[in-house]
Amino acid sequence: MTEWFTETLHPWLAQRLTMDHVLFRTKTEHQDLIIFENSKFGRVLTLDGVVQTTEGDEFVYHEMLTHVPLTAHGSAKRVLVIGGGDGGMAREALKHSGVVRLAMVEIDRSVVDMSREHLPTLSAGAFDDPRFELVIADGARYVAETDDRFDVIIVDSTDPIGPGEVLFTAAFYADCKRCLAEGGILVTQNGVPFLQGGEVANSWHRLRESFTDVWFYVAAVPTYQGGHMAFGWATDDATKRQLDITSIEGRFSPLGIDTRYYTPAVHQAAFALPKFILNLLS
């Protein structure tokens, strides 16, 4: 008999994936973790009843949360990832040859260990890169206390429930601002606006308490149901969001990075928001 995984993120919408083979299932110190195989999406990582990433479509999410800010910055050397325990964000960011240090702060070591064992294609060797540094800690506490400064901060969080809730607060965004070097960029996971409009609206107001240039950009990730997924963008250098296509191509193409979703044209177009998302920013 087929076993199904039913996502429980929304009370009025269910997503079901067949669990063709369960690879790992446990309750960690922080959350319920399941890794299973699905015939369409490959291996799937879920936390607390919500799909976090799949082998089949992870490239959309990871490419857009790394290549957009790193290309826009143009000279990022130090990158901080909050969350990202599956390693996909580190994998893509470390493809930028100018990066000399990437610190990944993950609250749950089990996510890292089980992803390394059961989802090795996501990290693809990033955990063994000499530029990579793993910190097992609360991300909010880390940015509140560290003396380090970063050119790009990527918040690869769960939704604002459970351990991820603190990563959507004004205080957290202010601490991220403190950790950015001059001209630095913060990007965040901000949910699916059609279904989770409050995440975008709240982050819009909270980010603007600390940053002068705040916006969102979008991408379509198949397993994140509801249409566009939104990524928050915050910096004090407005020119980084307004690069023309020639400038984006001039920065990204020489890197020789092979992508499956991101292109310079997609980078530029992603900042053009549908009207219903613009309405959330009023």
Point out the catalytic residue in the list 156, 159, 175, 258.
Answer: 156
State how far the alpha carbon of 251 is from the alpha carbons of 73, 97, 175, 259, 269, in Å: 10, 12, 29, 15, 17
Integer Cα distance of 8 and 159 in angstroms = 12
CB 191 within 8 A of CB 225: no
- Alpha-carbon distance 5 to 16, whole Å? 5
Q: Do you know the residue count of the chain?
A: 282
Classify strands 180-189 and 150-156 as parallel, antiparallel or unpaired: parallel
Torsion on CA atoms 35, 37, 41, 47, rounded to nearest 10: -20
Identify the residue whose tokens are 């992803």.
Answer: 115
What is the DSSP pairing of strand 180-189 with strand 42-47? unpaired
Nearest alpha-carbon partner for 143 in 110, 113, 166: 166
Tokens of 270: 């992603």
Is residue 20 annotated as a catalytic residue, yes or no?
A: no
Cα–Cα dist 53/25, whole Å: 15
The residue to which tokens 């950015």 are assigned: 180
Angle at 28 between CA 25 and CA 32, to 5 degrees: 55
- The residues carrying an active-site annotation are 156
